[in-house]
Amino acid sequence: HARLAELVADGGAVREVRGRGLWAGVDVDPAFGTGRELSERLLDRRVLVKDTHGSTIRLAPPLVISEEDLDWGLDQLAAVVG
């Protein structure tokens, strides 16, 4: 979750990150867009997430994901919320 915490520290669209293991909830500033809009932008980049509670997106990668693939997905998230 260190990379996700960096998105909060950057002061951009990400307000808070919660998680356990590989699962994470990312709360975004509603002024930046809804969870649905962000999930669609990520889908355009071939990253599948679930929007929940209006301005939250849920990350739940497979347990067998490689570190390289996880880093790529987080790069895509950073590009969308950056």
Tell me what pLDDT residue 3 has.
87
Full pLDDT tens readout for the chain, 82 residues: 788 988 888 878 899 999 999 999 999 999 999 999 999 999 999 999 999 988 999 999 999 999 999 999 999 999 998 7
Tell me what pLDDT residue 11 has.
79
Provide the CA 74 distance to its chain's centre, in angstroms: 7
Q: What CATH number does the domain located at 2-81 have? A: 3.90.1150.10
